[in-house]
């Protein structure tokens, strides 16, 4: 497998997530890891390596926005919108890199933390466009629900 350009995919992921936040047509803003990968053309290896690779991309993305502020407000943890498939709808254990003790908390507490993070992401609203500008990331935000909104990530995860 060729090397993965995590920075390029991090930019693509950020644009996709900002598009989801700002699109009124998308009611369910979070996206699964598999659907994110498919939407940005991320190479999906078979087996266990996928979570580590997409996780690295999300860590790169988080690092990119870490110091971005708009009108004195720091960009929130938009990576909280990337969730595992299933009823829990929370990020994987890698989210613990951004929130202390996340990995060891009970499910209800993880869900509460993620919900708070997501509310901050939504409240940031149009300021996300300023973040993309600060990072000099070209973008054409989608204006509708992605064509693959209905599907099964299991086919992606293999």
**How many angstroms separate the CA atoms of 32 and 35, rounded?**
5
Mean pLDDT of 85-91: 88
Q: Who contacts 37 (Cβ-Cβ below 8 Å, separation ≥6)?
A: 44, 50, 54, 156
Please report which helix (H) or strand (E) contains residue 14, including its range: helix 6-22
Structure tokens at 110: 């993880």
Instruction: Give, in order, the Cα–Cα distances in Å from 87 to each of 32, 39, 91, 145.
Output: 11, 21, 12, 21
Kindly report, residue by residue over 43-59, the tens digit of the pLDDT.
876 666 677 788 899 99
Q: Give SS3 for 83.
A: strand
Q: Who contacts 64 (Cβ-Cβ below 8 Å, separation ≥6)?
A: 7, 10, 11, 14, 135
Reported confidence tier of residue 131, pLDDT bands at 50, 70, 90: very high
What per-residue confidence (pLDDT) applies to 46?
A: 65
Instruction: Give, in order, the Cα–Cα distances in Å from 135 to each of 10, 64, 138, 143.
Output: 12, 8, 9, 21
Phi, psi (deg, nearest 5) at residue 95 = -65, -20
Kindly report, residue by residue over 89-122, the tens digit of the pLDDT.
899 888 988 887 888 999 999 999 999 999 999 9
Q: Determine whether 98 is exposed, middle or buried from the number of CB atoms within 10 Å of its CB (0-12, 13-18, 19+).
A: middle
Mean pLDDT of 82-92: 90
Tokens 């500008």 sit on residue? 133
């Amino acid at each position: 497998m060729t090397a993965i350009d995590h920075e390029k995919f991090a930019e693509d992921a950020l644009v996709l997530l900002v598009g989801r936040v700002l699109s009124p047509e998308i009611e369910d803003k979070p996206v699964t890891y598999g659907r994110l990968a498919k939407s940005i053309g991320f190479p999906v290896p078979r087996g266990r390596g996928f979570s580590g690779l997409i996780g690295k991309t999300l860590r790169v993305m988080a690092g990119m926005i870490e110091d971005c502020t708009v009108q004195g407000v720091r960009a929130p943890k938009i990576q909280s919108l990337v969730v595992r498939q299933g009823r829990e709808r929370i990020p994987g254990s890698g989210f613990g890199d951004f929130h202390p003790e996340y990995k060891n908390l009970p499910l209800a507490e993880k869900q509460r933390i993620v919900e708070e993070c997501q509310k901050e992401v939504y409240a940031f609203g149009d300021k996300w466009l300023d973040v993309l500008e600060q990072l000099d990331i070209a973008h054409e935000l989608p204006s509708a629900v992605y064509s693959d909104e209905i599907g099964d990530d299991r086919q992606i995860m293999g």
